Structure 1
């Protein structure tokens, strides 16, 4: 230990231990304690979550729509994706589009499906998580937010026109033809949204997040079956309405993989494997995760 010389009231000098600064070890322990608290599953606060979701979606929409609409590049990228899919032998979007468009009630229903369930089901799953699985809510919500955030990179660096806007693609814009509202980038609403943000497809990213979450956390057989059918139906809808290519769906899956990776790195486990939070008199704070 260091020493210093001090002068007493009588005028005599003597040595005394020097004051020790706060050690780096103590600071590290404090930081680790804060990090551990942030990474510990806890019951979410209702009003904070409402505010967080509203602000996050507003920010996402603002940034997505602020990306310059690079029409020439977006159309060129659409032609490239279409050629690639033809090369891979998966370019059947035009056949799906024309076949479903010939059945009026079906395609009109798909237009409304595309416009509404994207939001309704996702918000419904968030509410269900909040009420029934509060200990897993934050981690699962983080996976969804990270998925949505990384999609912005695709919109910025790879502007892509949807099939219905391709030059000479022969696709039917089902919203315009049937005069429904089915997309914020169609009809009279097209000036409110970036029309060339098709890659990746967040309809697939979000629907797959919903499907996996419900499948992993419920035990009701028919509900689990429906949870897996939901992203499959969404895939058919986005192609039938000519809003996306198959490869846009692959981009959505890649973004979702990134989102779950972020949640896993932060919480040390996949969201569905975290302990279940239980509250109430005499109940433990956490129960082991269901295998």
Structure 2
């Protein structure tokens, strides 16, 4: 039987051409590995606590450092403030001074707003990040990318468009509520003014961050009362920044524009808005990152076809480094 088997095998070899290894296979494997790494970076995953704490701390430190390192450009900042004030008056929406004086007449209210302005933008933002980490880990990275990219583009605004807040305008009748009521905690004026760039009012990150918090809570919270509070938070912040004479309402528009950029960048990278990404469900441990991941839904049939053609592997089934080349036979 052994001789018959050998003879049959030799007969087939004589009538069939030898397998030819596809020379493009190594290049295809390299391309697949690159796509695998990309998908691994884009896959929902449970974030690592130590890394997130370090990232947030370093990012906030860099944000404060860069913001305060921007040249103050006092003359340009005051000229820009005069232009914005004139523009608002020309369209009949220069209401900041009226709100500033009205709220300042109620001592308990304006003092509360001073403390609100000095603290809540940091406390609430960190609180939302912690909530995302615990309750929506698969959406955490995409939502965090929105926040970080919003803040990064704001730094560009501080450099390109120095702007004095209303309370520092020459010849205006705005009240610096922190100085008048001697409240603590704000880097905007008082004893802390020399530690902060006084002419970085455009865009308003109080609005950018509070709107990020509000939209995130509204999109992901289940309790109706929490969703309502999410919407009220940026609205209250807008009243506060105007009443304390720290911003024009147009600064808030700048903050919203920065946030829109952040959402656009996150959607371009992850293929979907953060709240539409799937919840994190462990499907395996990535060889590339060492963390458990979940697969993202593909955007549509065209992307499915492209993925099948170019990269059959996923982040959870990485390409084997030692995979044999595909054998190709001539017809």
- Determine which structure has more spread, i.e. the larger CA radius of gyration: 2
Picking from 134, 139, 145, the partner of 2:137 is 134
Picking from 163, 166, 171, the partner of 1:163 is 166
| 1:1-24, Cα deviation, whole Å (9 max, x unpaired) | xxxxxxxxxxxxxxxx9xx69844
Query: Is residue 57 of structure 1 aligned with residue 47 of structure 2?
Result: no
Cα distance in 2, alignment partners of residues 50 and 264 from structure 1: 24
Helix, strand or coil for the counterpart of 1:190? helix
Aligned pairs (5 A) from 1:130-209: 130-209=133-212
Scaled by the length of structure 1, the TM-score of the pair is 0.88
Picking from 59, 71, 76, the partner of 1:73 is 76
Cα distance in 2, alignment partners of residues 286 and 214 from structure 1: 24
Instruction: Mark the runs of 5 or more structure 1 residues left unpaired by the alignment.
Output: 1-16
Cα distance in 1, alignment partners of residues 102 and 195 from structure 2: 29
Count of aligned residue pairs for this structure pair: 269
Helix, strand or coil for the counterpart of 2:131? helix
TM-aligned CA deviation for residue 220 of structure 1: 0.7
TM-aligned CA deviation for residue 219 of structure 1: 1.6
Identify if the C-alpha distance between structure 1 residues 285 and 24 changes in structure 2 by more than 3 Å, giving closer, same or farther. closer
Cα distance in 2, alignment partners of residues 42 and 26 from structure 1: 25
Runs of 4+ aligned residues of structure 1 deviating over 4 Å after TM superposition are 20-23, 284-288
Cα distance in 2, alignment partners of residues 56 and 79 from structure 1: 33
- Partner residue of 1:48? 51
Helix, strand or coil for the counterpart of 2:148? helix
Contact 2:132 2:139 in 1 (8 A): yes
Picking from 90, 93, 105, the partner of 1:90 is 93
Query: Is residue 99 of structure 1 aligned with residue 102 of structure 2?
Result: yes
Structure with higher RCO (Cα < 8 A, 6+ apart) = 2
Cα distance in 1, alignment partners of residues 180 and 137 from structure 2: 44
| 1:86-123, Cα deviation, whole Å (9 max, x unpaired) | 11211000000000000000000000000010100000
Instruction: Mark the runs of 5 or more structure 2 residues left unpaired by the alignment.
Output: 1-19, 284-292, 298-331
Cα distance in 1, alignment partners of residues 138 and 91 from structure 2: 43
Helix, strand or coil for the counterpart of 2:261? helix
Helix, strand or coil for the counterpart of 1:276? coil
Contact 1:175 1:186 in 2 (8 A): yes
TM-aligned CA deviation for residue 26 of structure 1: 2.9
Cα distance in 2, alignment partners of residues 227 and 126 from structure 1: 14
